[in-house]
A and B are shown apart, each in its own frame.
Chain A
Amino acid sequence: MKAIVTVIGKDRVGITAAVCSLLAQHNINILDITQTVLQEFFTMVMLVDTSACAASIGEMADILEQAGKEQNLSIRIQREDIFNAMHRI
């Protein structure tokens, strides 16, 4: 299943590395990444494939939220469907 991971927070060294390695630990494959830094504000959007991941998206949402809290970031995973519904006819 495809999902969107978004990471938002104050920019510093190693955010991308930390999030990517966490996703790798759970067998989540990254298909596409875009990221920007605007006025020290870091925003990253990733399209990922969770079909090899043992955890459900709901469980991953908890894991990422917890990891985000520890690093003072907002990290979330959401099914791609919600964005397609809102932005594509």
Chain B
Amino acid sequence: MLNQHEIMQTIQMIDQQHLDVRTITMGISLLSCAHSDIKIACDKVYDKITRYAEKLVATGEAIEKEFGIPIVNKRISVTPIALVAAAAQADNYTPFALAMDRAAKSCGVNFIGGFSALVQKGMTDADRILIASIPEALASTDIVCASVNVGSTKAGIDMDAVALMGRTIKELAARTADKGGFGCAKLVVFCNAVEDNPFMAGAFHGVGEPEKVINVGVSGPGVVYHALQSVKGAPFDVVAETVKKTAFRITRMGQLVAQEASRRLDTPFGIVDLSLAPTPAIGDSVARILEEMGLEVCGTHGTTAALALLNDAVKKGGVMASSHVGGLSGAFIPVSEDEGMIAAAASGALTLDKLEAMTCVCSVGLDMIAVPGDTPAETLSAIIADEAAIGMVNSKTTAVRIIPAPGCKVGDTVEFGGLLGSAPVQPVHPFSARDFVARGGRIPAPMQSLKN
């Protein structure tokens, strides 16, 4: 029999510490929608998404009510559109994004991901068309997310794609200038992208995935923060154990929700993503966990070590709690979506260089960072190349989601609203990487790739 203390502990986690399931994401294969006529292909995309995900939101809401646990987002990820659209005779894939947008809205989800291309070893004609379509596609839709994988440990880094993505981000920012370059918040450039990520904006349904699948992302920075408050001054062994135990509980809850959603939607369960995903709400911050470990401000010396411990302990605690762990699984450090990160960046303690170091030990990369609007495309490409190199060499996922906010200078703040929060515009190095980016070609795969 459960005791009162355990029950009240769970209630407190939900009521006061922002415990929630961050997302239930349905992955849908659109490979069957390929057609030479783009209009027919788009109709098939719309029909398939709405047919498969028709009950996703209602089911999520029913589970939420019965278990009394908030399920913040219901989302859809689809096969990278460059693969689906390749058969279509078209020189612009924006109609696919429009079909995805309409389908997602009629299902009631709040984001759909998969306007994507995987170009780590080179670009097909369809990949080039898709990337060229990204600015128009994201500027003319509301809830479609795009991603491009430009590198991997196995393939190296496609520097032509890296150069192209710098220019694409600039163009996308210009097209959404009236909203602070908001379009860039919906575009992720990856190295080692995963096929079963439930989190936006980088979710897509990989080609190794089944027809449809349910992936669940858990969260709970507030719960970890609260747990660490009870072990003030204790050695790191105790800190790690405390994080592990907390992550275990959070993940068990996510696993239960995932299995229930999978059963009710008659859709196979894929994975639970064990991530600490912050929100701009007070008390739901990853930065504050690092500060609770004894740092005056997130970003000062010691931050990388603190994050390494946190990231590792979350995985160790969560891995036994779920039958299948996948996705990105670790601590997220999106600047604009984390109240503590926003404060640290605004105070100047958290710089782009420190964030880059932190991405070596966290689950993703440079996420939701605003930089001055006049940052050259080549500098954005060089930032992407650095981040991809970290991912490639360390066999981990890294990503860049950066917003060169039009007309904004260092010290300004860009407001995105909702879960995306607000970002202080951070300085980039003023020295050029133009000749570096102009070289193009491929950075060869590292020794780590030769495992066979």
Q: Which A residues have a C-beta under 8 Å from some C-beta of B?
A: 4, 6, 8, 32, 34, 36, 43, 45, 47, 56-58, 61-62, 74, 76-88
Contacts and interface: CB of A to CB of B under 8 A. Distances in A.
A36 to B, nearest CB: 7
A39 B3 CA distance: 21
Given A47-B1, A58-B65, A79-B67, A85 B255 contact: yes
B4 A36 contact: yes
Contact of A83 (B6, B65, B66, B255): B6
Q: Chain B: interface secondary structure?
A: helix
A11 to B, nearest CB: 16
Contacts, number: 67
14 contacts: A4-B2, A6-B7, A32-B1, A43-B8, A56-B66, A74-B15, A81-B67, A83-B2, A83-B10, A85-B253, A85-B255, A86-B249, A86-B252, A88-B2
B67 A78 contact: yes
B252 A76 contact: no
Contacts of B68: 61, 76-79, 82
Given A32-B1, A83-B2, A4 B252 contact: no
Interface in B50-98: 62, 65-69
B11 interface: yes
B256 interface: yes
A21 to B, nearest CB: 22
A80 to B, nearest CB: 7
A45 B65 contact: no
B65 A57 contact: yes
Nearest to B249: A86
Interface in B1-25: 1-4, 6-11, 15
Residue of B10, B62, B65, B252 with most partner-chain A CB within 10 A: B65
Residue of B8, B62, B67, B253 with most partner-chain A CB within 10 A: B67
Nearest to A77: B68
Contacts of A88: 2
Contacts of A81: 67, 256
Given A58-B65, A78-B66, A82-B69, A43 B4 contact: yes
A78 B256 CA distance: 13
Contacts of B6: 83, 86-87
A80 B65 CA distance: 13
B1 A85 contact: no
Contacts of A43: 4, 8
B80 to A, nearest CB: 34
